[in-house]
Every structure is written in C-alpha cells, then in structure tokens.
Amino acid sequence: MRVEFSFIHVDQSDSLIDYANDRMEKLTRFELKPMDVQFTVSMESAHECRIEVFVLEGRRKFKAEAVCDDFYRGVDMCINKLSRQLSKDKGRVKHHKNADRSSYGKIARLNDELEMDYTIERPLRKVG
C-alpha cells in the first residue's frame, strides 16, 4: 500500500501522518491488489477541516470525504467510510462466480461426502 499526503492551507503534521498510517492498517485486510492512497488535508474556514481520501486498487476507485472541526476525527470518519466501501466490494468480488452455482456447489460437496469406494462388477453386454 502506497500512501501519499498533500496539505493545502495547512502545515504538514507528522503526528497526523502517523495517525492516518496507523488507521490505514485497518484497510489492508480488504486489499486484493496493491492500493494507491491519496490523502488530501485542507482547511476550508477557520473551523472546518476537510479530509479527502482517494483509493485506487487495480481498476477500482474509492473515495471518502469528511468535513469536521478536528483532523483526527476526519481521518477516522474517512477510514470508516472506506472500510465499508472496500468490504462491500470485496464481498462482491469474492462471491461473484459462486452466486449462480451455489446450489450446484452444495450438491457436488454432498456427493463427494457420500461417495463411497464400492466396486461393482457388472457383466459385459453382448451387442448384436
């Protein structure tokens, strides 16, 4: 996971970067392909902090945005939004092909469990 930070109208804060990187560990369990993450931290007005997070994973794109009065709370809000999006997407990808064949897969597993090693010898039929 590659994470980039950009600060607009705000001084760069190492503690905020460390905090965001720690919270990003929550998203690594949803990683199917290498992710590129872009954090944008900006100040809208005197009391509005804006955090935007853009995630690019392969061809899929995810975005979360939070506006609040605290940068750390904004990071938490964005990470929670992204975890919901990534969880939902991973579920779609994981169950994509199995959804149509779910009953077939259950029957095949039952047949494998019930299959026993019986050898039945049948006489050959004479044709003609």
pLDDT in tens, 28-55: 887 777 889 999 999 988 889 999 999 9
| Chain centre to alpha carbon of residue 38 | 16
CATH code reported for the domain at 2-96: 3.30.160.100
23 against 123, higher pLDDT: 23
- Give 107-119 pLDDT, tens digit per residue: 555 555 555 555 5
pLDDT for 75 equals 94
Place of tokens 């999006």: 85
Q: List phi, psi (to 5°) of 80.
A: -65, -40
Per-residue confidence (pLDDT) for residue 121, from 0 to 100: 61
What pLDDT does residue 6 have?
94
Give alpha helix (H) positions in 7-122. 14-24, 71-94, 102-114
Whole-number pLDDT of residue 94:
73
pLDDT tens profile 57-103: 888 899 999 999 999 999 999 999 999 998 888 787 777 665 445 55
pLDDT at position 16 is: 93
Q: Where are the domains of the chain?
A: 2-96
Q: What is the pLDDT of residue 110?
A: 55
- Residue 30, pLDDT score: 78
